Structure 1
Amino acid sequence: MASLSEGRLLLRGASQVVRVASNGERVKLKGAMSDLAILQAEEGQGLSVAVDSQGRIAAVGTDAEVASLYEETTWENVLDVTGMSVVPGLVDAHTHPVWAGDRVHEFAMKLAGASYMEVHAAGGGIHFTVNATKNASQEDLLELFEQRLQRMARAGTTLVECKSGYGLDTETELKMLRVMELARSHSPVSISSTFCGAHAVPKGMTSENATRKVIEEMLPAVVHAVQQGQLKVDSADVFCEKGVFDVAQSRRIMQACKDAGFLLNFHADELTALGGAEMGASLGAEAMSHLEEVSPAGVSAMAESGSVAVILPTTAYILRLPAPPVRAMIDQGVPVALGTDFNPNAFCLSMPLVMHLACVLFRMNLREALTAATLHAAHSLRRAHDHGSIEVGKLGNLVVVDSPRWEHLVYQLGGTDDTIAHVVNQGRVVYSKESM
């Protein structure tokens, strides 16, 4: 019998526990993406997941097996999940969640056929949000951010990558990163912060001047704040794109950020085939996002380097972009992850919706989509040692699906308010569906 005298959470009675990984894997390539290591309850049995007082998974097995381990344990919380299924907490690998302003008016422009860059040239897009975010107070930005985190949690997200990038000057970029830091201690969703000062070229500057500003002014200020213990920043990003930062400029920015100790997690080959993926792979980038226009050589380079491809179905859907070559990526051994790309251009906070779109638009199967939204998304942030699967020793981040089959989480399009019964972060229930 385990010596643990107090536990944080016990789930019992589940029909399925979808572990995603069971042997400490941090990536599952090619056909292995579809192996979810599912525990299925036999008739008359239930399955349990126990989370210890430190918020880590302590046991997974049948109700009887787990009960025999912890007969003397008192639990802070016990959830009867009879007839339900349990999956790992979802991981959103790419978002831009700190901003002010409303760009709903641009939706009509896009529906009328305006491209992303045409909206941008008309004074919309990133620069519209930059102005609003600069003018917003830190308190207002924090309130908006916290509301968005709550909505993410209700849709099953337990870890989210959060980018700055709507400042384009040192003061506002630091303000955005401070907002993330202030929310971190009480957020229902764990946060991985990314410095994205190279999100666009500020008005009145050339891309070369902007490149130097990011490297010589903004990056040192962020590094100083991290060293002083004022911020925790994990990654750095650049929008490598025609008319923004070209491949050579992006390389300089990414190399400077890598030298400063940040992970590389950047926008590549979204609107134009520039060879951004090849550049990122040569730098050993941990992750690259979008990739709608990635070349076959870029896919091969990512497979060789181990860089994670973070696919963003909502953006491709809204902007009517060509589908990224997801099947080729999987077949060649590129780790594929998913993200919402939540931002004013793609207003989506739901990873189950993203999984649905990935299956329908990009021909991923359901099991691949779940791996991409859990283990691989966590690996893109280099957090797969703690997140992304239901394994002993990992953080107790769980989503309880109100169905004996986990697939309802994806199948029921837009139905997370009904399909998700509970969301758990480190053993604490951060959301429960209201009883009807």
Structure 2
Amino acid sequence: MSTITTEELSATTLLRFATAGSVDDGKSTLVGRLLHDSKSVLADQLEAVERVSAGRGQDTPDLALLTDGLRAEREQGITIDVAYRYFATPRRRFILADTPGHVQYTRNMVTGASTAELTVILVDARNGVVEQTRRHAAIAALLRVPHVVLAVNKMDLVDYREPVFAAIAEEFTAYATELGVPEVTAIPISALVGDNVVEPSAHMDWYGGPTVLEHLETVPVSHDLTRCHARLPVQYVIRPQSPEHPDYRGYAGQIAAGAFRVGDEITVLPSGRSTTVTGIDLLGEPVDVAWTPQSVTLLLADDIDISRGDLIVPAEDAPATTQDLEATVCHVADEPLTVGHRVLIKHGTRTVKAIVKDIPSRLTLDDLSLHPHPGRLTANDIGRVVIRTAEPLPADTYADSRRTGSFILIDPSDGTTLTAGMVGESFASPDPVDDETDDDGWDF
């Protein structure tokens, strides 16, 4: 059997990061500049960009085209979908999510930042911090992205003036700190020209900090398994029914957090039954340890009832199961979310019926005040909700696990994603709500 130590895993140099900002703040240009100046662009890709740019009458390549891959994006000149790019430097590998800036596509920013360890939020130096900047900062705080970079872009259009950068950095940092963002690094840049993106700027000798790429290469990324709660949502029960393996029964899924080892005592939720891990299969080979985000099959000592949607956890570290979830959500659908709304809640691999019992508050982005009991959340609103589920769910708090502390609400009529939620997250303590009984067949 193969083994790997926590120290070996911690040496992995992979950074997942996302970009965000308002429309025309230059996100795609920044990403294109990063890829171009770090020599991560293939020759045929650059030739295609140069050809399209020349067809538009542009003298220089439009580097934004390296990420705006959809035809609709190129025609409108905006980013619509989340564009994922993979590149590497000698110091680190990167998975980048370039997210849309238009308020209509805020839901895509939630998607892109949900797995990010760092978010780059761009601000146009001419406009400063605007509402969408504050919304993106709030989402980064809710999603507990540990590192935030404020990239003050288009410094060339304000004559590279230090006071302009300093004022924006001070305003944003104060706002982000109030939200609970643990770390903000402010960098003045010009993505179009290349100042402080990969190479230091010759126009801003007053700035002594890192370039964007230097910061991305050196920001600490933790892979310490000892601090993770091991979680495996069961996706599939494997019973091959073959002569070679007549008694084989495995429980397959992607490890959401932490690590599992042969010999571990585990508990299956929500049933609460316990047993021992007797084997782990990874890519058809037995191993004695596996960790997130590997997809594995666990073999257990006892033949107990386990099905898709169950959660396998260490016996000494099992989360409580509950039918009442309190969470902060970002509503992403055009249809409002209202008190009494019948929904499906998808948590891990489990999907159950649920009712929105209350909406205690909605966040006001301008001053971070809470609007009490708004009754509904509309598209892009951030608010506090109380949800009653038809069946118990083993939910961690989002602070403990970004994977098993998160969920989505789904419209049961057409499968539309309504809301992304974080269990236990809150900007302030909500008022208590009465546990009222529903009388139309969804009484939980």
Using the size of structure 2 for normalisation, the TM-score is 0.33
Higher-Rg structure is 2
Higher relative contact order (CA 8 A, sep 6+): 1
| Structure with the larger helix share | 1
Q: Which has the larger share of strand?
A: 2
TM-score, with structure 1 as normaliser: 0.34
